[in-house]
Amino acid sequence: MQMSPSKIRIADSFAKAAGSYDTYAQFQRDVADTLLSRIPDRKTTRILDIGSGTGYCASSLMPVYPQSCITSLDIADAMLLHARPRGNSECENWVCGDGESLPFFDNSFDLVVSSLAMQWCTDPVMFCQEIFRVLKPGAHAFVSTLAEKTLTELRESWSAIDSFVHVNTFLPYGEIVKCLGQVPFSRVTSNNQQEFCFYSSFNALCKELKGIGAHNINAGQRQGLTGKDKFRKVKAHFERNAENDKGTSVTWDIVLIEMEK
């Protein structure tokens, strides 16, 4: 698999976090649960999970679809190594690959799921086109992703200190909807909702982002170390709005999408 430098950076970042991912990924599991709860009860034989991480979606889907084959695909090989021991179905596959260039034949799956991976893709239209291509006619895909307001509080704290990109950026919801409109699905529905999670400190948030592999992997970041003085300032800025026993509220801008081919 040929990968651009930015994809290699993303794959490395998630691979490094594979061992700690499950400890820090409560929010990701909650989003996956919401996404999977939307899947109507239908007969399926071949399911694909794109950006499968440590295999949470496959392990939730297996008891519901015991007769199905589930393929988990991720760009980070170490994530798949952590997912494998979780598997307990007769028919399960783990594939290292890119969601924007799926190594599967056209019309080969009757359900595609993908939770919180689309936002890491270079081209969301290509990501959706690939889903369209591998879905059988009439089959559905359920995808969650993150939009623009995600981590606003952290981004604002850093921008009060310097002009480097310290926090990942995400597309506005309207742009995501436009991308979906460029792929010839027969039906697409999506919705956008913001959730607020509380973090006891700036360090707790950074530790969680690092633990899941999602610390700053966007272009435009500062090369080299950021000084202790800057960290002290940004921490103080971030924590200035902390509520007594709860900590600081942080926005997660969640998008849930259903697509039918």
Interface contacts to ligand SAM, rule CB under 6 A = 10, 14, 25, 28, 32, 50-53, 56-57, 73-76, 79, 98-100, 115-117, 120-121, 212, 214
| 216 secondary structure, DSSP code | S
Q: How far is the CB of 3 from ligand SAM (least distance, A)?
A: 9
Q: Which is nearer to ligand SAM, 94 or 185 (CB)?
A: 94
- Residue given tokens 């709005």 in the structure block: 241
Q: Which is nearer to ligand SAM, 25 or 255 (CB)?
A: 25
User: Position 174: which residue type?
Assistant: G
**SS3 breakdown of the chain: % helix, strand, coil, rounded to 5?**
40, 25, 40
Q: Which is nearer to ligand SAM, 12 or 239 (CB)?
A: 12
Q: How far is the CB of 199 from ligand SAM (least distance, A)?
A: 17
- Residue given tokens 């019309």 in the structure block: 107
**Gyration radius (Cα) of the chain, Å:** 19
What gap in Å lies between CA 163 and CA 256, rounded to an integer?
31
| 62 secondary structure, DSSP code | T
What gap in Å lies between CA 10 and CA 76, rounded to an integer?
8
CB under 8 Å to 176, separation ≥6 — which residues?
Answer: 124, 145, 147, 190, 255, 257
Q: Which is nearer to ligand SAM, 56 or 94 (CB)?
A: 56
CB under 8 Å to 162, separation ≥6 — which residues?
Answer: 222, 230
> Could you tell me how far CA 97 lies from the centroid of its own chain?
15
Q: How far is the CB of 79 from ligand SAM (least distance, A)?
A: 4
Q: Which is nearer to ligand SAM, 100 or 153 (CB)?
A: 100
Q: Which is nearer to ligand SAM, 3 or 160 (CB)?
A: 3
Angle in degrees, CA 145, 148, 154, rounded to 5: 110
Q: How far is the CB of 236 from ligand SAM (least distance, A)?
A: 29
Q: Which is nearer to ligand SAM, 114 or 192 (CB)?
A: 114
Ranked by CB distance to ligand SAM, the top (closest) residue is: 53
Residues 158 and 113 sit within 8 Å (Cβ to Cβ): no
Reading the block at residue 126, the tokens are 């290509």
Q: How far is the CB of 81 from ligand SAM (least distance, A)?
A: 12
